Chains A and B, each alone.
Chain A
Amino acid sequence: MDPSPLAGGAVGAVVLVGSTVYGLWRRRRDGAFRSAGGAELPARSANDDASDDGSALLRALGVEAGIPATLLQFSSAFCAPCRATRRLCGEVSALLDGVRHVEVDAESHLEAVRALEIWCTPTVLVVDAAGRIAGRATGQPTKAQLIAAVAPLLAAPTEEPEVAR
């Protein structure tokens, strides 16, 4: 290819437009909680979770059974938004009874990272009292998003989160 200003300018323009579209998509997606993980990590009832591989995996990461909502945050050394996410999760767990924040270094737990399909940091999983993953968000969530994600678990101490709605 000829290194003409025209080709360089065209490539530059395409890159800037493409990056803007990607950046806007990421801005919309980051921090939004989606329900996920339930299918990959089949959890049974609360009594049965000792024998459940998924729950055992989460307990090995420091999640305690019986806590209504655990914010399980995956961080890494080269992650700028992890610090802010840690502060927000800490604030929410201090603000709301029944919420606990657990932060793990993704690199030190690569097996769990693969099993839980963690691809980027920060990723925050919301784990319920039975050790089920009720939601996940990649990227830095807002405080409002965190509170909204744990609220159904706090409002419904029984098995059915739908009761709260």
Chain B
Amino acid sequence: MTPSRSLLDPRGPRFAAAVTAAVLVAVLLTGSGWLALAQAAVFAVASVHPRLNPYALLYRAVIAPRLAPPAELEPVEPVRFAQLAGLAFTLVAAAGYLTGAALLGLVAAALALAAAFLNAAFGLCLGCEAYLVFRRVTGRPMAARVAR
């Protein structure tokens, strides 16, 4: 199956979010800024295109072939936006842990964990929902459009 570049099997990002949540639990347990930075790098790659996410590559190589084709596809843009939000939080977490501001690292990693876990377990995208709230408050016009 070769889905178009603008649509995704939604189970791929959810699998990636589950792996991400596990990594973030490890970050919280170890307090490792380097692990947070590694996760930030994964988010950075995924924000270019979610299909490049190493976890998503694992999903497509190992898991997707064993599953039925997806009943519903989802647009790429919300997933990309979520990766950017994840990137921001894990960068703050890495910076906090690596500079000795462990409380900052803890809070940022905890927020990232909440978002990743909600995505993995419930398919909710907190960053996506925050987006309209942000736009309501700022109100500047922007070229973004509803994805068809």
- Interface set of A (CB-CB < 8 Å, partner B): 1-5, 7-9, 11-12, 15-16, 18-20, 22-23, 26-27, 75-80, 82-84, 103, 105-107, 110, 113-114, 118-121
Q: Decide yes or no whether B31 CB sits under 8 A from chain A.
A: yes
Count, A-B residue pairs, CB within 8 A: 123
**Can you name 15 A-B residue pairings with CB atoms under 8 Å?**
A3-B106, A4-B31, A7-B106, A11-B110, A12-B113, A15-B117, A19-B118, A77-B78, A78-B127, A82-B146, A84-B72, A103-B146, A110-B135, A119-B133, A120-B129
| A86 → chain B closest CB, angstroms | 9
Bound Cα distance from A142 to B65, whole angstroms = 29
Number of chain B residues close to chain A: CB under 8 A: 47
- Per a CB cutoff under 8 Å, which of A16, A83, A120 touches B117? A16
B19: CB under 8 A from chain A?
no
Complex Cα–Cα for A2 and B106 (A): 10
8 Å CB contact of A26 from B24, B122, B147: B122
Interface pair B136/A79, CB less than 8 Å apart: no
CB distance from A136 to the nearest CB of B (A): 15
Bound CA–CA A3/B29 (angstroms): 9
Q: Mark B106-120, 1 if CB is under 8 A from A, else 0.
A: 100110011001100
Contact assessment for B81 and A78 in the assembled complex, using a CB-CB cutoff below 8 Å: yes
- The winner among B73, B75, B124, B144 for most chain A CB atoms within 10 A is B124
